[in-house]
Amino acid sequence: MLYFSTKAKTLSFLENRVTKSRILPQLCFSVSDLHTSPDAVHAKVAERFDMPLIVRSSALSEDTSLESQAGKCLSIPNVLPEDILFAMERVKGSFTDNNPDNKILIQPMLTEITMSGVLFTIDPNTGGNYFVINYDKSGSSDSVTSGMGQDLQTCYLFHKCKSGDEYLDRLTDAACELMELFNSNTIDIEFAFTMSNELYLLQARPLVMAKSSTDYNVQKKALSRIQMFLEREMRPKPFVKGKRTIYGVMPDWNPAEMIGTRPKPLALSLYRRIITDRTWAYQRNNYGYKNLHSFPLMMDFCGLPYIDTRVSFNSFIPRDIDDRLTEKLVDYYLDNLAVQPNKHDKVEFDIIFSCYTFDLRERIKVLSEHGFQADEQDILMDSLRQLTNNIINASNGLWIGDLEQIKLLQERHQTLISCDLDIISKTYWLLEDCIRYGTLPFAGLARAGFIAVLLLKSLVSIGILSSQDYENYMGQLNTVGSKMTTDRFELSETAFLRKYGHLRPGTYDITSQRYDASLNLYFSSEEKSQLVDLQRGKEKFSLTLEQYTAIQAQMEQQGLEGDVMTLFKFIKAAIEGREYSKFIFTKSLSDALEMIVRLGAKHGFTREEMAFMDVSVIDRLYSGADDVKFLLEKSIAEGRRKYA
C-alpha cells in the first residue's frame, strides 16, 4: 500500500506502478539545492529536457490529509530550459514558509490536450459515493484548477457504474486503480488527455472531506429505486402528452427557491400538501388550461424535490387545443429545454407560450423552424388570446374572485386563532383553510401576476415602453415588500411585528425563526436608513399620450379586450394581489407551524425534531384516536432515516 507524500514524491511513487494512466517524467530540487548549487540545477535540467517545461510547487505543507492548499503556490507553464532558474525562484517565492526542504518539481509541458480537469473519488460536500469529475475540453491544462475555464462541465458518476463515455470511463478506471494502491476512497486527482489518446495523471493528493462517506449499499439501493422510477416515468403515459419527461428543481413552482434542494420532511410534505399535489392543477385548469387534476407536479427522489416538466408543460396548454397539437407542443417544449438546460428557471419566458402578449406574433415564429404549420400557430395564438382575455377582464376576470377568497381567509384565520379548539384541530383547520382560501386563490393570482409581468415586458419588447419605464412602473406598485419597507421606518416595533411578525425567511421551514421571534436577526438600524434611501430614489411612472395611443391601437389590432385603463388596472391588481395573497396565506401556514411546535413540545419533541415529521400525521391525528406521541415519534424516526 502506498502513502501520500509531497506532490513530487507521490508522482514518483506512482510512476512505475500505475497501468491505467501515465506519469510525466520529472526532476525535483529542494529550495536548498537552488540556493547552494544553481548552476548544477540548471545543467541537470538542460541535460534532461530540451522542450518547454512546467515548474510546479511541491512544498511539504501542501495538500495534507487535514488541509488542501491547492492553488496557493505558483505553477509556471511554458518555461524554456534556459529560463529555468528564474521560474524556480518565482515558485520558491510563493511558498508559505521558508523551509529549505520544500521541493520544486519540473516536468515537460503537456501539449495537444483534448480534455483536462479534476476528479474527486467521492463527493466532498455530501460524502456521496460518486466520482465527481469537473472537466474542460478547451485544450487548457489548468482551466479547471485555475477557475478560469469558460465552458466547464461536471459529471457525477456513482461508483462501479459506467458512463458510456470512453474518456470518463477510462478516467474512473484509473481512479479505481489509485484507490486500490492507496487503500483510500478519498483522493483528489488532476488529469489530462492528449490527442494521442493518452491519459496523464498530473497530481494525486488526499481529498479533504466536509463529511464522512455514505454507506455504499444504502445509497445504491436508494439510487436503484430512483432508477426504476425514472425508467417507469420516462415512457409515454395516458392522459398526459409527451414522449418522455425532464425533471428539474427550478421550473414551475420552483422548489429549489421555495423549500431548497434538500428540505426536511415536514417542509417537503407541507409544500406537496398545500400546493404541488392538487392545488396547482385545479387552479390552472380553472384559468383556462388543460385539466391535470390528480397529477402531482413535484416528485420526491429520496428526499430531493423535482418538478415533472412534462406534467407542467401539459398544464400550460389552453384546454381547447386538440390532442394532436398538444402532443406536438409538449414534445417541442421538452426538446427545447433539453438543449437549453440553463433555461430551467426561465421556462415561461424562453421555452413555452402560456399566454397572449403584444410580441407573441413575433416570438411564435420560432415554431416554423420546428415543423409547426402556419395554421397551427394561428390556432395556438387564438387560444392564448381567448384565455388571456378571460383572465385580464377588469369586470369579471378570474383574479377578482381570487382576491375575495383571500379576504375570506383573513376572517376565518382570526376565528380559528381566537376559538377554543385543541392544538391538533386548530392545526388541521389552519392548514385546510390555507389550501382552500389561501394557496388555491394564490395559485390563480400568481398566474395572473405572471401574465401581467409578461404583458408589461412585451410592451418593452415592441418598443412602446422603455426598460426604464418598466422599472419605474414596477417600483411604484404598492406590494407587500414596498409597504413593509415603509412600515419598518414608520411603525413602532410592536405595530410592525403585529403586522409582519408571522413572516420567516424559510416559509415552509419550521426551524426558520419568525420575525416576531428574533427581529434583530433580520433587521438592523443601519438597514432602516438604507430602506428609506431606496424609497426616495424611485422615479414616478406615467404614460405619455403617445404611449397611451400606441397601446390602445395594439390592443385593438391584436384582439385584446378592454382599453388601456382596464389593462393597467389588471396589471396593477394582479401583481399586487399575488404578493398580498402570499402574505395572507403564509400567516395561516406560519401559525400552523408554530402549533406543530407546541404539539411536539407537549410530547417531548424539540422544534428541530418536528422538522422531520410528515404533515400527514396531522390528518391522521385529527381523524382518529391514535396515540399522539407514538405517531409523532414514528414519523420523526422515519423522516430522519429518509433525510439521511
Backbone angles phi, psi at 194, to 5 degrees: -115, 170
Lowest average pLDDT, out of 61-65, 225-229, 288-292, 475-479, goes to 61-65
Residue 440 has pLDDT above 90, yes or no: yes
- Cβ-count burial 108-126 (b if 16+ within 10 Å, e if not): ebbeebebbbbbbbbbbeb
Reported as a pLDDT band with limits 50, 70 and 90, residue 150 is: low
Cell of 381: 395564438
pLDDT digits (tens, 9 = 90+) for 351-383: 999 999 999 999 999 999 999 999 999 999 999
Q: For residues 8 and 103, is the Cβ–Cβ distance under 8 A?
A: yes
- 268 or 60, higher pLDDT: 268
pLDDT digits (tens, 9 = 90+) for 595-642: 999 999 999 999 999 999 999 999 999 999 999 999 999 999 999 998
A 10 A CB-CB count for 228 gives 10
A 10 A CB-CB count for 290 gives 23
* 103-123 mean pLDDT: 93
Locate all alpha helices (DSSP H) within 245-373, ordered by sequence.
255-258, 265-271, 279-286, 309-314, 323-339, 347-350, 360-363
Residues of the chain with pLDDT > 70: what percent? 94
Residue 49 has pLDDT above 60, yes or no: yes
Computed on alpha carbons and rounded to an integer, the radius of gyration of the chain in Å comes to: 31
* 527-544 mean pLDDT: 66
Domains, in order of start, for the chain = 25-109 (3.30.1490.20), 111-214 (3.30.470.20), 219-352 (no CATH), 398-611 (no CATH), 612-644 (no CATH)
Interatomic CA distance for residues 619 and 623, integer angstroms: 6
Q: For residues 475 and 467, is the Cβ–Cβ distance under 8 A?
A: no
Cell of 411: 376572517
> What 3-state class would DSSP assign to 52?
coil
Reported as a pLDDT band with limits 50, 70 and 90, residue 143 is: low
Residue 528 has pLDDT above 80, yes or no: no
Residue 309 has pLDDT above 90, yes or no: yes
Interatomic CA distance for residues 335 and 325, integer angstroms: 15
Q: Which amino acid would we find at residue 76?
A: I
* 274-295 mean pLDDT: 95
> What's the confidence (pLDDT) of residue 644?
84
For the sheet with 53-58, list strands across it: 27-30, 103-108, 53-58, 75-79
A 10 A CB-CB count for 210 gives 9
Residue 64 has pLDDT above 70, yes or no: no
* 270-280 mean pLDDT: 96
Residue 453 has pLDDT above 80, yes or no: yes
Interatomic CA distance for residues 568 and 234, integer angstroms: 43
Q: Would you say how long the chain is, in residues?
A: 644
Residues of the chain with pLDDT > 90: what percent? 74
Interatomic CA distance for residues 504 and 586, integer angstroms: 9
* 16-25 mean pLDDT: 94
Locate all alpha helices (DSSP H) within 518-563, ordered by sequence.
519-522, 525-536, 545-558
Reported as a pLDDT band with limits 50, 70 and 90, residue 415 is: very high
Backbone angles phi, psi at 103, to 5 degrees: -110, 155
Closest CA to 326 of 334, 335, 338, 318: 318
- Residue 582, H or E segment: helix 564-602
> What's the confidence (pLDDT) of residue 34?
84
* 48-67 mean pLDDT: 79
Model pTM? 0.86
Average predicted confidence (pLDDT) for the chain: 91
* 539-550 mean pLDDT: 92
Lowest average pLDDT, out of 245-259, 272-286, 517-531, goes to 517-531
- Residue 467, H or E segment: helix 467-476
Lowest average pLDDT, out of 159-168, 374-383, 395-404, 414-423, goes to 395-404
* 278-296 mean pLDDT: 95
Backbone angles phi, psi at 449, to 5 degrees: -65, -40
266-270, Cβ contacts within 8 angstroms, sequence gap of 24 or more: 266/508, 266/510, 266/596, 266/610, 266/611, 266/612, 266/613, 266/614, 266/615, 266/639, 267/506, 267/508, 267/509, 267/510, 267/611, 268/300, 268/303, 268/305, 269/614, 269/615, 269/616, 270/508, 270/589, 270/615
Backbone angles phi, psi at 120, to 5 degrees: -100, 135
Residue 394 has pLDDT above 90, yes or no: no
pLDDT digits (tens, 9 = 90+) for 161-205: 999 999 999 999 999 999 999 999 999 999 999 999 999 999 999
Residue 293 has pLDDT above 90, yes or no: yes
Residue 71 has pLDDT above 80, yes or no: no
Name the residue with cell 488529469.
191
> What's the confidence (pLDDT) of residue 66?
56
pLDDT digits (tens, 9 = 90+) for 205-215: 999 887 788 89
pLDDT digits (tens, 9 = 90+) for 81-99: 888 888 888 888 888 788 8
For CA atoms 351, 352, 353, 357, give the dihedral sign.
negative
> What's the confidence (pLDDT) of residue 564?
96
Interatomic CA distance for residues 84 and 106, integer angstroms: 9
Interatomic CA distance for residues 80 and 260, integer angstroms: 51
